[in-house]
Structure 1
């Protein structure tokens, strides 16, 4: 409290009594303490960088970031660069009357520049760069800045025009206001700052012409107007700034030619004029600027031939004249540019052969792409020296008309990282010593006339990132050594004549993202190991002769059909061709031989050798299975009906006393358990045998409605799987667990009834019908709105998440098991009934829930894959698509079967996803919700269980997709 009162008093003295205090007393060190403490109060210091600032100190000279004049002991420098401070610039700084340097760069300060720092008459340096300061510069900010030498406001969010009062800063030597949002024209007053050495106005929105008068800045060393909106010509007066070393006028809309006065800039090292609209020839006097080290004229409209005088630029290290309209041949005089490291003449119309001198200069980058160069590369490569070969890092001569072979000398350029010879007319094979280029990142030899095989030595280029050999005449197998290119992310071998299989070694390339092997003659099956390529974005194997099933993996489950088309023997969902099921061999006994091995085909039967075809065997086997199944089901139904009639009769006539809570299970009584309350159940027993009260039938039994004595309706499911249910103890244990599942979106299980021949489940009664009828049987235009559909999806997701949290799997998710209550809320029914079976035999189970066709996860058909909660996730994904599209999971057309998941996935890949929305309410669908929901449905229906999210994650995603509540009423 004492510190708080003391601090409050100090602030009061500073703000209210400051002038009196200063004028009435001798200068005190406390002035600086007070100013800095008030500054500290206006900022946040998350890392405690200002912890040493203590208001009880007599002097701030030992505080972090503070430096004092040793003679006066007054603060002369405040340097808090990179302290992570946030907040605003407070008025406390104005108390530092002897401050010469203020540097607050690389912090998070925000707000406007409200302080008039010109009141600090001793300021020499101000650096507020790399913060979040915004707004216009106050008009009077520069009115009293005669002492200011350096100003940096770079990389903030300042806007508005540059104040003309800037001319008051007559001593300013360095000005950097780059990377802001300044607009308007450049004030001509800026040229009156005769002491200016460096001016950086780049990356703003300044416009108009560059004002005349720049020649007055005789001390100017560097000017940067990069990335603005300047128009017109370069002022001729620029030649008067004869000390200029760096000129950057790039990325504007400047036009015209280069002013002749520029030849006076003999000290200029860096001239960047790229990305403008300059025209005309490069003048001969360019060779007079002997100090030039970097000349960038790219992306303009210069034309004509290069002047021979360019060879006089012996200091030149970078020459970029790309994307212009230059023509002719490169002048031989350029071999005088002995220090040249980067030469880019791409995107022009240069002609002739590749000059031999280019490989003698010791270049690091040689970019000649998209010109009209002709002839062989052999002579130019032969002229290279050992020194030059070791320096070259990038060689791009693509998109010309080169002919002949790729010189074998290419293997000697040991430092090459980029080699692009694509889009020429090169012939013969790929040199085997290409494997000597150990540092190569990109190899592009596409669109030539290369033949022969891909050399196995390619595996020696372990650093290779992109290998592009498409559109050639390459033959033979894809070398297995390609698996040694462990860094490969991009592989394109399409449109060649490659044969043989896709090598399993490709599966070792774990960084692969893009693979194109299309339009070859590849054969065999795809290695299953390809499914392990977790970074794949595209894998095109179309138009080959591949066969068999696609690998089962995250990417291949959703691969585009166009990426696998044109392979008649390939099977799987993407090609809409079912893979043949591998069945065990049928047992065929030879009646003429007692020692025939099971499974063998008789060699002599009826005096004739008869061999059954595979299709005949499958047909016979299927017929036998069907006949046995029909007989078994008939017998089972007769038993169930007989026992159910007896038990129902006993239930109906024995009265309420028979539903005691005792464990008695004799033939004339049963065990009734109600989980909450003890209603009189007897009045509803007539419903068990009354067809008029039947609500529906499913795989596990029929459901009836009955009314209790208290007037409450309940739904009773009479199980018709009595011969399959567990023992009474196991049955009761499982039912009680289901009874513990309580959620507003679950149909509540209220109790059960047990006898050895009859089992009943008692549920709450839900009056609104089921989702299937609302989606597919509703008429009269009373269709579900998007709001209602989304709420059903979200409510169902929450109910499944609740079940999964209790380790209960639904197993039978479908739209007919989503009931709608009187308030429109979804309630999930029939959950967990498979737990009542003695074992989760997936074939028995699938026969019981065969009405859920289209919702069943692929693992139901595979004995080796465990049935988990991810089966429910798959069914839920199908349910999402059904709700959004209004289509059934499987639609049977006249001559086709349409699977909903495949239809939506194909539409998404082709950009037609909005066509899938239910047309009955399409005008009211918010695309920002409906499309992400459909994509979520596709993710949930991944063929690989591990790739599906769990239901808790699904709920979170749906809640993130939900639009703000303000827009929902309109959509309802």
Structure 2
């Protein structure tokens, strides 16, 4: 490495020396122009992995024929340098300061680091400077001080930090467009920005700006677009923004703004898009806003806006998107919304709306998405809504009644998502639903639907989710469902279905969750279910199933949990990890196995096979056979006698234990409003190291925090829900599994309170908790962009793949958070369950570690608990977990982090099950490194990538996954190594 660096420096010095000397041209000496000299000096400091600048030669008298160069026709001087997306790396050197007639400098979408030289930014004729989508870092420098003619400045999507100096906008009178979004700028927005009187476009989004929006914006009469979204701005929306007659777009989403929407915004008559979502706005919608007749997008979701939902919104006939989900609107859904003929998205979910769904909405012929879920709507579903071009219909969580509308020929041609769960609908499921051939997800759960399941649902080739649970459906499960090969979730539990489980279900190879519990199913468990290689959760409990458990379940690597309790099954229980909870096999008196402590009867003895060609055995063959027969007869008689007694005793004990455990289990999971234990608990909120207790939290409010429709994830410690607290702030609520947790509130608080004091920008903050003996909730900050596992392995087609910059940022953020747990907390916190599903991603793909410290809530850390609680962490678990002689330390987290690094680099899961093999990621990559081919494992969706960064990260990951704990580095050392690989400024911890 040192030799390569010396060679590189020597080459650079030679090139610089050549640039300072005279160049050769046709054998004659020609003076090198300032433009050639400056550009060659600039090139000397670059890494050009694709050879994009091969045409740049120092012996050329003019650079005008070079790639990316535009020259002025009159003077022959360089007027434009455009090197967009050429994968160049290095720093923007001072050589460009030689281009004193440069007007346009565009270096966007490369890998430049460092900062912009003020001499380059101060070129006298420079009008446009675009260095967006690079890796520029460090404190943002005042670039406008020496250039009063710059019109466009684009520094977006870098890693620049702040706060911004007041003098940044000292001379910006010519500035027309300013883009600073997607950085790490903090502090207040400088008030001097109002001196940029020519501004038309202003974007400060996706930063950490705080404080109030400065006054004086009403003076910037030329402003057309304002984007302050995804910051930490407080205060109110300035009423003076209403003076901006030319404003067409205003985005203030995802801040901490309060107060009401000012009626003065009605003067922005040209506005097309207004987004004030995800704030803490209150009050009513000002009627004055009905004058905004050009408005196409109006988004105010996730606020606390109240009052009757305005009927005048129906007069804004150019509206295409109207979204006021999760507010406090009351009244009826206005019939006037039917006048919005170009409306495409209508979302009023999560409010307090009453009355019927207006039939008039059926006249909005361009409507694609309609979400009225979680209100108080009554009446029936208008059939007119099914003949539109609607792709998304969600009426869940209301009080709708009547039958589901009949679907005629040609209806629902584009419908993909249909959710009418948790209502009071009834009647039969109509076969015509099978005509909605584009359906992807259907959820009819929690209603009163009766009749059989239509076989026509098998005609839905794109269906991935079918939830008909908690109804009164009867008849048999249609075998035609086996033809729906994309089905991943099939939930039919809590109905009255009978007959046998169709063997055809085994053809749904994508099935991950199959729940047929609480029905009247009979017959055996089909052997074909063992073909479901993606199946993770199987619940067949509380039926009348008979026969044995297919032993093929033992070989299903994907299977995580199986519940077969309260059936009539017999025979041995498989020994795989999916069968690890004794309560999930209760109520089957004929089962046996180590899980429940019941020995299985030995099978028939294997026959003694003699060599028929052996002459020595011929004479004694009859004696041997007779002796063996006698032994078998005697043994069998003894086994039968003892077995009858033993089975009788065990059956009595098993049934008694099953009834007792079942009764205890029903008491512990009951969520009935009448459950008296809910009133015994209290919500405790942390504020720094202190806690504020609300002693009289309403029973219904506690239950409202864990609505099934708000479920966003499940893990080894419980289920996670998204919830909105009465004050309007959104939280993630983890409903903990009760069975393994501490039993007293004092023990619980002793373990949880230290977690409430932990604060770091890369850790999900614990806001508070709720405790009763039957229910424990943990309230965390809500991180909206999902987890790393989903971004790597379940990415939607519309989502771009994570590139190296983001992956490195995630790796460093995770290392910083984990390092804080190990070295910044007293006492030290060990995560124990580090994996990609526990790395949550906020805006700009910043990593936040969740579920840290929860292992403290377990009574012991023995092999059984680690084997059952951390099944989902397969592939991340350090070898010492399976070795009782080794002490569990923070080095097990380092091992998991190493696996996580490999997952980021390769885009592969830690363990992959092939047709004939199992691939362990760290072993696979280690073999490639030893074979001299480490970069062949890099994720192909991440091209291009810097080899000089990826290769050291791979080596670091393999060191972290050493089988010897003492060979693994501490997380402090890991952070230092990552910062050496790519120096990135570290922001201070969040307050």
Fold match (TM-score > 0.5): yes
Counting only pairs closer than 5 Å after superposition, residues 129-144 of structure 1 correspond to structure 2 as 129-139=132-142, 141-144=143-146
Cα distance between partner residues in 2 of 1:966 and 1:919: 19
Superposed displacement of residue 953, structure 1:
6.8
Distance 2:473 2:532 in 1: 26
Cα distance change on mapping 1:617 and 1:483 into 2, 3 Å: farther
Q: Does 1:194 find its partner at 2:207?
A: no
| 2:154 alignment partner, one of 152, 155, 168 | 152
Query: Structure 1's 99 and 436: CA in aligned 2 closer, same or farther, altered over 3 A?
Result: same
SS of 1:258's equivalent in the other structure is: coil
Could you tell me which residue of structure 1 aligns to residue 743 of structure 2? none
Which string of whole-angstrom CA distances, capped at 9 and with x for unpartnered residues, describes residues 56-102 of structure 1?
11111111111111111111111111100111111111111111111
Query: What is the CA distance between 1:514 and its match in structure 2?
Result: 1.8
Partner secondary structure for residue 136 of structure 2: strand
Equivalence map 1:672-821=2 (5 Å) = none
Alpha-carbon distance in structure 1 between the residues aligned to 2:11 and 2:892: 60
Is the Cα contact below 8 Å between 2:895 and 2:962 reproduced in 1?
Answer: no
CA contact (8 A) 2:444 2:467 kept: yes
Distance 2:886 2:368 in 1: 62
Pairwise CA distance, 1:145: 1.8
Deviation at 1:12, TM superposition (A): 4.5
User: Secondary structure at 2:226's aligned position in 1?
Assistant: strand
Cα separation, 2, equivalents of 1:310 and 1:58: 66
User: Closer, same or farther in 2 for the Cα pair 1:82/1:947, shift >3 Å?
Assistant: closer
**TM-score, scaled relative to structure 1:** 0.61
Counterpart secondary structure, 1:266: coil
Is 2:304 the partner of 1:306? Answer: no
Aligned pairs for 1:459-858 (under 5 A) are 459-546=458-545, 547-553=547-553, 556=556, 559=559, 563-570=563-570, 571-573=572-574, 574=579, 575=585, 577-578=592-593, 583=604, 620=633
1:330 to 2:328 alignment? no
1:146, distance to aligned residue in structure 2 (A): 1.5
Aligned to 1:403: 401
Distance change >3 Å, CA 617–CA 316, structure 1 → 2: farther
Shift of 1:330: 2.0
Q: What is the CA distance between 1:319 and its match in structure 2?
A: 0.5
SS at match of 2:84: coil
1:525 Cα offset (Å): 2.4
Name the CA distance, whole Å, in 2 between partners of 1:368 and 1:551: 46
Partner of 1:825: none
Contact 1:31 1:95 in 2 (8 A): yes
* Cα shift at 1:28: 7.0
Could you say if the C-alpha distance between residues 300 and 462 of structure 1 is closer, same or farther in structure 2, counting changes exceeding 3 Å? same
Q: 1:168 aligns with which of 167, 171, 179?
A: 171
Q: Of the candidates 284, 288, 293, which is equivalent to residue 281 of structure 1?
A: 284
**Unpaired segments ≥5 residues, structure 1:** 19-26, 588-615, 627-899
**Is residue 329–residue 351 contact of structure 2 (8 Å, CA) maintained in 1?**
yes
Residue of structure 2 equivalent to 1:48 = 51
Counterpart for residue 125 of structure 2: 122
Asked if structure 2 preserves the Cα contact closer than 8 Å seen for 1:297 and 1:320, the reply is yes
Where in structure 2 are there 5+ consecutive unaligned residues? 1-7, 24-29, 580-584, 586-590, 594-599, 609-628, 640-861, 900-909, 928-957, 971-991
Greater CA deviation, 553-562 or 193-202?
A: 553-562
Q: Which residue of 1 aligns with 2:945?
A: none
Q: How many angstroms does 1:123 deviate by? A: 0.7
Secondary structure at the counterpart of residue 960 of structure 1: coil
**Residues 1:329 and 1:12: Cα distance change in structure 2 (over 3 Å):** same
| Structure index of larger Rg | 1
The Cα of 1:223 is off from its aligned counterpart by 0.1
- Pick aligned residue for 1:222 from 222, 225, 236: 225
- Structure 1 CA distance for aligned equivalents of residues 564 and 161 of structure 2: 54
Runs of at least 4 residues off by over 6 Å: 3-7, 13-18, 579-582, 584-587, 616-619, 900-904, 910-921, 929-934, 948-958
1:309 positional shift: 1.9
State the Cα deviation string for residues 219-278 of structure 1 (Å, max 9, x = none). 100000001111111112101111000000010011111222211011000000001111
Conserved 8 A contact 1:224-1:249: yes
TM-score (norm 2): 0.60
CA contact (8 A) 2:538 2:561 kept: no
Three-state SS of the structure 2 residue aligned to 1:82 is coil
Tell whether the 8 Å contact from 1:560 to 1:906 is kept in structure 2 after alignment. Answer: no
- Distance in 2 (CA, whole Å) between partners of 1:289 and 1:127 is 34
Would the alpha carbon gap of residues 149 and 326 (structure 1) be closer, same or farther in structure 2, given more than 3 Å must change? Answer: same
Matched, 1:209 2:212: yes
Q: Specify whether residues 406 and 921 from structure 1 end up closer, same or farther in structure 2 by C-alpha distance, changes over 3 A only.
A: same
Kindly indicate whether residue 75 of structure 2 is the aligned counterpart of residue 72 of structure 1. Answer: yes
Indicate conservation of the 8 Å contact 2:169/2:195, yes or no: no
Task: Indicate how the Cα distance of structure 1 residues 925 and 53 shifts in structure 2: closer, same or farther if over 3 A, else same.
Answer: closer
Structure 2 distance, partners of 1:237, 1:134, is: 34
SS in 1 for 2:497: strand
Distance 2:491 2:38 in 1: 66
Q: Distance in 1 between matches of 2:897 and 2:542?
A: 33
Does the C-alpha gap of structure 1 residues 517 and 932 become closer, same or farther in structure 2, counting only changes over 3 Å? farther
In structure 2, relative to structure 1, the CA distance for the partners of 1:409 and 1:52 (3 Å cut) is same
Aligned to 2:893: 928
Query: For residues 924 and 270 of structure 1, what CA distance do their matches in structure 2 show?
Result: 53
Please list the CA deviations of residues 910-933 of structure 1 after superposition, one character each: whole Å capped at 9, or x if unmatched. 999999888887576854389999
Deviation for aligned residue 1:497: 1.7
Describe the SS at the equivalent of 1:239.
Answer: helix
Tell me if the contact between 2:362 and 2:388 (Cα under 8 Å) persists in the aligned partners: no
Indicate how the Cα distance of structure 1 residues 112 and 271 shifts in structure 2: closer, same or farther if over 3 A, else same.
same
Three-state SS of the structure 2 residue aligned to 1:521 is coil
